[in-house]
Amino acid sequence: MDGSIHQYRDYKYKIFSGWLDIEDVGIFLDHIRKISRDTGIEIVIIDADYIVSLDNLIYAVMKAIDSWIEKRNVAKTLSMEVLLYVSATRQIKDAIRVGVKEGRNRVYLVLIGSNTDLEKIGRESEIIPRFTPEKFDINLDSINLRKIMEMYDIDGDELRIVGLDKLDMLIRERMVLFELNK
């Protein structure tokens, strides 16, 4: 995405793609939490290997916002609620699999806040240390299909029936089932 501000209900959000270099995940996440507290912006960083369509990422962001506003959230923070929706699970230990790891990460960065909060910040590479923006094209031929199928509990028969071009719909179905079973 281009990083322009989008509105959903009472929230604004921006989505960027790029690279993130992390030496120590714990120290990095502590720093991100501090930035979030200081700016009032929720910061979500997602491993791009788990995103098969931007529509799914946007859907997860919107459903997490719905859950947050309606006080149906599972997580204590909106950013973790987004990760739960992206991963379609109630289990935080499973949801963090779609987060960042030590080393070089190809990521989607989601910033959520008020319009004022989002306009206050500079470029995304200034707010997030070691983030280098780069636009990614999602290509179903180059995804790690085994990783995706394992994460979302999709079996081979199910994928053959609907076809690879409908993988994003299968994942969105998992997000809907997650919401229904919360």
Three-state DSSP state, 175: helix
Which tens digits make up the pLDDT trace of 15-63?
A: 999 999 999 999 999 999 999 998 889 999 999 999 999 999 999 999 9
Residue 1 confidence (pLDDT): 62
- The secondary structure of 23-60 as a DSSP string is S-HHHHHHHHHHHHHHHT-EEEEEEGGG-S-HHHHHHH
DSSP 8-state secondary structure symbol assigned to residue 122: -
Residue 38 confidence (pLDDT): 87
CA distances from 137 to 4, 19, 60 (A): 17, 14, 19
Residue 5 confidence (pLDDT): 84
Q: Residue with structure tokens 């509105």?
A: 7
Residue 121 confidence (pLDDT): 61
The token duo for 9 is 């209900």
Taking residue 99's Cβ as centre, other Cβ atoms within 10 Å add up to 20
Amino acid in position 95: A
Domains of the chain and any CATH numbers: 6-180 (3.30.2380.10)
pLDDT tens string for the chain (182 positions)?
Answer: 667 888 999 899 999 999 999 999 999 999 999 999 988 899 999 999 999 999 999 999 999 999 999 999 999 999 999 999 999 999 999 999 999 999 999 999 999 987 666 776 655 556 788 899 999 888 877 788 999 999 999 999 999 999 999 999 999 999 999 999 87
Cα 53 to Cα 171: distance, rounded to the nearest angstrom:
10
Residue 115 confidence (pLDDT): 65
Phi first, then psi: what are they for 160, rounded to 5°?
-65, -35
